[in-house]
Amino acid sequence: MNKPIKRVVIAGGGTAGWMAAASLSKLLGKHLSVTLVESDLIPTVGVGEATIPTLHILHQLLGINEAEFMASTNATFKLGISFENWRDVGKDYIHSFGYLGQECWACGFHHFWRKGQELGIAKDIGDYCLEHLASREGRFAIMANQDLNHAYHLDAGLYAKYLQELAFKHGCVRVEGKIDHVNLDENDGFITGIRLDNGKLVEGDLFIDCTGFRALLIEQALHTGYDDWSHYLPCNSAIAVQTETVGTPPAYTRSIARESGWQWRIPLQNRTGNGLVFCDKYMTDEEAIDTLMNNIEGKPLNQPRVIKYKTGSRRKHWNKNCIAIGLSSGFIEPLESTGIHLFQKSIVRLLQMFPHTGINDADVAEFNKQTKEEIDNIRDFIILHYHLTDRRDSAFWRYCASMPIPDTLTHRMALFKQSGRVFKKAEELFGESSWVQVMMGQGLIPDQYHPIVDMMTEQELQAFLTNIEQNVKKKVASWPPHMQFIDHYCKSKMM
């Protein structure tokens, strides 16, 4: 398609649609017309309320003020995820943001910690990470020149509205209506326009599919295909409900493993988001609702609703002149809060590779290659939580422990077990600290450490570990309580 791209049409709203609209309008809007089509009659999934630190990248590009955004979305800070009962019932750990201790050119900090454990001079590995300790002690602060190793718990509906206002400010046009038909060019099969149920035709040069699980453009019109990952990630259902806040909101997400899945608790300033992710082969919807409602804190604010999905990925995320962003591109369950990150990453990738002069095969292939590599790596990281477990107390967990896993994950686990080594590839989201925390949290401890550690005497190693631990403790002690900081920095406008 050698035709210059002047008109971008975004099909569907929600978080993904309005992230795309705000980004394209603000950053490329002088050269484009950006139109978003959505229907007030179609609800968005909108249960994902936890993010990861990469969201700072998009917010900086869009010039978003953190305090204003947080106050507008009832947001709290997030420093990691507490995984409870995942390794086994009664065994918990935290996967925190930030970095563990201090690495060297040859190996990560966990090698030094591993020898310290053997010698009985090392504390819990989380005591050597600022964000890990702060999350446990309920403290938070933003200091000058501090790494942006924090994320947010936010109201996804309010976040979409916040982005919508930004998009409108930069010229995006919203068209109300339900998509009735997708028009295709008879010669090349490219999308030429989408017809709405009110008869209106919205034409464009480039189309972004943000229609959620329905994937009206990328799949129903273009028949792109879908790789099903249910054999790796068997959960296929979720129950969501909101409750009144009880107690002080922690600066972390809670992920509590249950008999046939896991429960989330996400604290906002004005309420708590709750949900249960489960596999309906092992638990009925009614049993899941009972399990969730018997394990919430605070009065329910709405009726629990059931969401059905199939984990997997679209075979092409850019097909012809259509790019799938959001749930239309695939779905990896929300265990590590990667959903909004993937929306953002596809948007930034599109901005970097935007086809101003026309769509060419090389750009499309590169976009799809990068997207696939990143999604496959995230998939492996999520599978790790399920497969690397000592739980055998239910049919669900016995399946997870014995199920086949990708060769790429088998290699990572074997490499870490035998040598403690972790290597991050260019397109990977999760770095060494993340893999180390989850693998060791789930019970996989390296058999050995790097020989460079033995260059230190026992006394030098002890001084090295103690200095890091004391510095972390001192800094965290100087921070105020999490909610005290929020009250002064970004208190909600709606409370």
- Give the model confidence (pLDDT) of 218-234 as tens digits: 999 999 999 999 999 99
Instruction: Reply yes or no on whether the pLDDT at 447 is more than 90.
Output: yes
Instruction: Reply yes or no on whether the pLDDT at 185 is more than 70.
Output: yes
pLDDT for the residue numbered 85:
98
Domains within the chain, CATH numbers bracketed? 7-49+155-229+311-359 (3.50.50.60)
Q: Kindly state the average pLDDT of the residues 40-50.
A: 73
Read off the tokens for 485: 């900081």
DSSP string over 26-48:
HHHGGG-EEEEEE-TTS------
How confident is residue 45, by pLDDT bands cut at 50, 70 and 90?
low
Q: Kindly state the average pLDDT of the residues 117-127.
A: 97
CA distance 28 to 83: 41
pLDDT for the residue numbered 46:
56
Instruction: Reply yes or no on whether the pLDDT at 47 is more than 80.
Output: no
Instruction: Report the Cα 471 to chain-centroid distance in Å.
Output: 30
pLDDT tens-digit series, residues 306-346: 999 999 999 999 999 999 999 999 999 999 999 999 999 99
pLDDT tens-digit series, residues 257-314: 999 999 999 999 999 999 999 999 999 999 999 999 999 999 999 999 999 999 999 9
CA distance 181 to 26: 29
8 Å CB contact between 253 and 265: yes
Mean pLDDT estimate for the chain: 96
How confident is residue 48, by pLDDT bands cut at 50, 70 and 90?
low
Instruction: Reply yes or no on whether the pLDDT at 15 is more than 70.
Output: yes
Residue % of the chain over a pLDDT of 70: 99
Q: Kindly state the average pLDDT of the residues 442-467.
A: 98
Q: Which residues pair with 468 in a beta bridge?
A: none
pLDDT for the residue numbered 407:
97
pLDDT for the residue numbered 147:
86
CA distance 132 to 93: 10
Q: Kindly state the average pLDDT of the residues 150-164.
A: 96
Radius of gyration from C-alpha coordinates of the chain: 23
Among residues 63, 13, 56, 61, the alpha carbon closest in space to that of 34 is found at 13
**CA distances (Å), 15 to each of 171, 211, 379, 466, in order?**
18, 11, 21, 44
pLDDT for the residue numbered 119:
97
Residues with active-site annotation: 78
pLDDT for the residue numbered 256:
98
Read off the tokens for 219: 């799949």
Instruction: Reply yes or no on whether the pLDDT at 3 is more than 80.
Output: yes
pLDDT for the residue numbered 429:
96
pLDDT for the residue numbered 425:
82
**CA distances (Å), 305 to each of 124, 293, 444, in order?**
39, 12, 36
What predicted TM-score, i.e. pTM, was given to this entire model? Answer: 0.96
**CA distances (Å), 356 to each of 7, 62, 209, in order?**
10, 20, 19
Strand, helix or coil for residue 265? strand
pLDDT for the residue numbered 265:
97
Contact partners, residue 242, CB within 8 Å, separation at least 6: 271, 272, 273, 274, 300, 301, 302
Residue % of the chain over a pLDDT of 90: 94
Q: What angle do CA 361, 327, 334 make, to 5 degrees?
A: 125
